[in-house]
Amino acid sequence: MLALAGHTQSEGAYARAIKKHRRHYKKEFLKEERSPLDRAGVKELRFFPPDERYRVSCTFERTPDAEAFDMATYSGITKPYVKYGAATFQLKGQTLRLAVYQSLQLRQMPMYRDYLFIPFKDPTNGEETYGGGRYMDIRMSDIRDGELTLDFNKAYNPYCAYSDGYNCPIPPEENHLDIPVEAGEMGYKKHE
């Protein structure tokens, strides 16, 4: 009985941490001058309930010799990226792999030099989640000794999910997952 109570307490702490993360995420929309959402729009944001099963431990393999490429965006322009590495993990009994990218534009800016980007698609797109896919961000410092933790509960929609006029990267085919990821941000209510 004590073990069960401890497990519930741990789950409660995790759910609180995700809720705190989401409050911060919503506040960022109100701070960003190019934000597609105002206060009323932010209230329409929806998320799957926090689910710790979508917080996965990964092995990380660096790709130091990867060449830069132009990642397509939904607006038709391209943005320069390089594949920084790949994360391999288990989810729902399957071994999955996601490429991790670095923006060559952000790499030039000291405050964003260590930012890494994981755009992905999954079978929930166009149903429960935005049709264009979702994103996750990590920092180089999140990778330690070839290991990384990814938390799909922190997956978010690109600005294109809320409004036109943004250059949102299209998740490359290598980051199309075959299993549904029922975690993170859901589709935007006003667009249904």
Residue 55 lies in a domain: yes
Q: How far apart are CA 155 and CA 151, in angstroms?
A: 7
How does pLDDT run across 49-59, given as a tens digit for each residue? Answer: 999 999 999 99
Q: Which domain holds residue 102?
A: 46-191
73-94: average pLDDT:
96
* Residue with token string 């506040």: 27
Q: How far apart are CA 155 and CA 134, in angstroms?
A: 6
Q: What's the number of domains the chain is made of?
A: 1
Beta strand ranges found along the chain (DSSP E): 55-62, 69-72, 78-91, 94-103, 115-120, 134-139, 147-151
Determine which helix (DSSP H) or strand (DSSP E) holds 4, and give its type and residue range: helix 2-31
Whose CA is closest to 133, among 97, 81, 92, 168?
168
pLDDT for 3 equals: 39
pLDDT for 98 equals: 98
99-103: average pLDDT:
97
99-124: average pLDDT:
95
Residue 175 lies in a domain: yes
Residue 140 lies in a domain: yes
pTM: 0.90
